[in-house]
Structure 1
Amino acid sequence: MTTAPEQTSPAATTADVLAVAREQVLERGAGLSEEQVLAVLRLGDDRLTELLALAHEVRMRWCGPEVEVEGIISLKTGGCPEDCHFCSQSGRFPTPVRSAWLDIPGLVKAARQTAETGATEFCIVAAVRGPDARLLSQVREGVKAIRADGNDIQIACSLGMLTKAQVDELVEMGVHRYNHNLETARSHFPEVVTTHTWEERWETLRMVREAGMEVCCGGIIGMGETVEQRAEFAAQLADLGPDECTMNFLIPQPGTPYEHYEVVEGKDALRTVAAFRLAMPRPLIRFSGGRELTFGDLGTKKGMLGGINAIIVGNYLTNLGRPASKDLAMLDELSMPVKALSDTL
C-alpha cells in the first residue's frame, strides 16, 4: 500500500525549504535536490496552498502560461509479455483486457479527432516489450496516412524499449517525441516490474535523446513507494532532463497485483505535483492517467495552478477520461491558453 508521507509541523525547517526554493528555483531556475524535494514532500497540509502557489510561480516564470494538449491512442492493446504490476495490458495477469490492433483508418480518424480539439500532440502507444517489424510497419504506414489526411499534428510514440536501429527508424519517420516512463524510483522498480530492469528503460531514453528526439518520461505515483522514494524518483527524472514529464496516479486495475491498492489522497498528490515542479522548473509536466480518480474537477484545477502545464484530453489507453470539451473549458476558465501548433514546430 502507498506509504503516506510524514508531515512536519510549521517549524522553521518547513518555512526554510520554501524560502530556499523561492530563491533557488524561482529566481535562479535551479531545481531542488533529492533532499530538498523530500523536505517539500514532508510539508504539512497547512503549507499546501503556499507550496502550490510557489510551484505555479515557477511554472509561469520558466515555462509561461501556455498548456500543451495531447491525445493518445492504443495501436496495439493487451497481450504484453511484461509483468508491470500496475498494468491491465500485461498478458500475465487475469485482467479483462484482450489483445487487439487498431487499423490504419482508425488511427487516422483518432488523429483527426485529436487535432480538432486543438491538441498539438498525438501519441501512438503499443503494449509491447519493444516493437517488432510488424508494429514498426504499422506505425510507418499510420504516420504516412495521417499526413496524407492533411493533419500536421505533432506525432509521438510509446512503443517500449528500443534498439539503436529502431530509434533511427522512428526519427526517419518524423516522430519527434518518444515516451518511455521510468515508472518509479530506481530503488523501488524491482518491486513493480521483474521482467526487465530500470536500467534497460534508461538506456532507451539515452538513445532517444542522442538521436535528437524529444524525451517524454515520468511514472506512476501510488505504487507502494515511500516518500523517500518519491523524492528519489523526482531527482532521477531531473537528472534525465526530459522535455516532458508525465504525472500518472495509480488506477487500481482489476486482475493486477495492485487491484486493491488505495487511491492516492488528493492533498498528497497535489504536494507531489508541486514537488516535482520544484525539482524540474522547465519541462512540460503533464497530467496523465488517474487524475480524474485522484483529484476530481476541483483538484485538477488546483493542480493546474500548482505546476502542471500540459494535459492529456479524452480517454486513456484502457480507462475512460472525460470529454476534451470539459478540459478545454477548464483551461479557458483558468485563462490558460492552449499551446498553438506553430509554437511546437
Structure 2
Amino acid sequence: MTTTGHDILDRAREQVLEEGRGLSEADVLEVLRLPDEALAPLLELAHEVRMRWCGPEVEVEGIVSLKTGGCPEDCHFCSQSGLFASPVRSAWLDVDALVEAARQTAKTGATEFCIVAAVRGPDARLMAQVAAAVAAVREAVEIEVACSLGMLTAAQVAELADLGVHRYNHNLETARSYFPRVVTTHTWEERRETLRMVRESGMEVCCGGIVGMGETLEQRAEFAGQLAAVDPDEVPLNFLNPRPGTPFGDLPPLDGGDALRTVAGFRLAMPRTVLRFAGGRELTLGDLGARRGLLGGVNAVIVGNYLTTLGRPAETDIDLLAELQMPIKALDRAL
C-alpha cells in the first residue's frame, strides 16, 4: 500500500530524499507523466529534497551580453543567430559598461555575474576583451565571475581558468536524440567535449537547457538523465519564450503544470545540483509559478533581464525570497 497513491513519489521519497540518489531517466519520465492531482505532493517532495541536500540558501546571479547578435550558428530558439530574420542586431559592450553591470548586479545581493557572448566560440579579439573584463570586474566588484562563450579549445579553457573564471556555462540545450531538430551547425557531442575540458580544468560546470521546444516527455526525461551524467555544479532551466523570426517562433509556450513537473523532475534527478530558474519562467509560470517553483526544487535565480528577453525586476525576486524566508547565498571567500 502506498502512502501517496503514486508509486513513483513513494520510491522517490526513499531513494532521493532519504538516500540522496537521483532518479533514473525512466523514473523521471514517470514523474513527468503524473496527473495534475499529484502536482502538489510532487512539488512538496522536490522542495524537501532541495532543503535536505542543498539547504535553504538561494544563489542569485545576473548576466550581461558582451557580444550580442550576429552569431553564425542556427540554434532554432535564438534570435541572436545571424541566419534568421530576427530583430537582434550585433553589438559589443565595452569594459566600463561590463564593470557597471557587475556593480548593479552585486547591489541586488547576487554573488554571480556571468559574461555571455553570442558566438560559436571565442576568437582572439573576444578572448582579449573577456580577459580585460574579468580582470576589471574582479578588481572593482566583490562578485564571482562566470563566462558563457560557446565552444572552447583546450588553450581557451586553460586561459579562462587562469583568469580566475570559476564557473563556465555551456548548455547542452536538449536531449541528445532531439538536438539535431534544434541545431544543425554543430553537434551535441561538440558541446559535450567543451564541458569535459571545463570540468578537467577545475572550473565549475554550468550546463542546462530549454524545455518546451517540441520535445516529447520521453526526450525531456532523457535530457534530465544526460544532465545528471554530466554532474554539473549548476543547471539553468529555461522555458522556451518563442522569438519572432526564429524557426521556433510559432511554438506555443509550455503549459505551466508541465513546467513545474519538469522543475520537480530535474530536482529529483539531481538532488545536490544548483537548479536555477532562468529564461522564460515569466511567460510560462507567471508570479504564482515562480513562487511554486521556489517551493518545488529551485534554489537559484537569474535576476533582471535575460540576453534578449525581459525578466522580472530584480527587486521582485529579492522580495519574494525574503517573503519565503529563503536567505540569499553569501559570497564564498574561499573561492
Query: Which of these residues, 123, 127, 137, is aligned with residue 132 of structure 1?
Result: 123
Matched, 1:342 2:332: yes
How far 1:294 sits from its partner (Å)? 0.6
Percent identity over the alignment? 72
Code of the residue aligned with 1:56 in structure 2: it is: H
Tell me how far apart the structure 1 counterparts of residues 279 and 136 of structure 2 sit (CA, whole Å): 28
Code of the residue aligned with 1:112 in structure 2: it is: R
3-state SS of the aligned residue for 1:321? coil
3-state SS of the aligned residue for 2:63? strand
Matched, 1:173 2:159: no
3-state SS of the aligned residue for 1:341? coil
Query: Which of these residues, 94, 101, 116, is aligned with residue 92 of structure 2?
Result: 101
How far 1:254 sits from its partner (Å)? 0.5
The match for 1:4 is none
Listed one character per residue, the Cα deviations across residues 212-253 of structure 1 (whole Å, up to 9, x for unaligned) are 000000000000100000000000000110000010000000
Code of the residue aligned with 1:306 in structure 2: it is: G
How far 1:146 sits from its partner (Å)? 1.3
TM-score, normalised to structure 2, is: 0.98
Tell me how far apart the structure 2 counterparts of residues 112 and 183 of structure 1 sit (CA, whole Å): 29
The match for 1:3 is none
Matches within 5 A, 1:201-240: 201-240=191-230
The match for 1:5 is none
Code of the residue aligned with 1:203 in structure 2: it is: E
Code of the residue aligned with 1:287 in structure 2: it is: F
The match for 1:69 is 60
Matched, 1:299 2:289: yes
The match for 1:161 is 151
| 8 Å Cα contact 2:77-2:243 kept in structure 1 | yes
| 8 Å Cα contact 1:14-1:43 kept in structure 2 | no
Matched, 1:142 2:99: no
The match for 1:195 is 185
How far 1:342 sits from its partner (Å)? 2.9
Q: Measured at CA, do residues 172 and 343 of structure 1 come closer, stay the same or move farther in structure 2, by a change above 3 Å? A: closer
3-state SS of the aligned residue for 1:285? strand
3-state SS of the aligned residue for 1:17? helix
| 8 Å Cα contact 2:167-2:205 kept in structure 1 | yes
RMSD across aligned C-alpha pairs, in angstroms? 1.3
The match for 2:24 is 33
Query: Which of these residues, 276, 292, 295, is aligned with residue 286 of structure 1?
Result: 276
| 8 Å Cα contact 2:60-2:300 kept in structure 1 | yes
Return 5+ residue gaps in structure 2 as ranges. Answer: none
How many residues matched? 334
Matches within 5 A, 1:240-279: 240-279=230-269
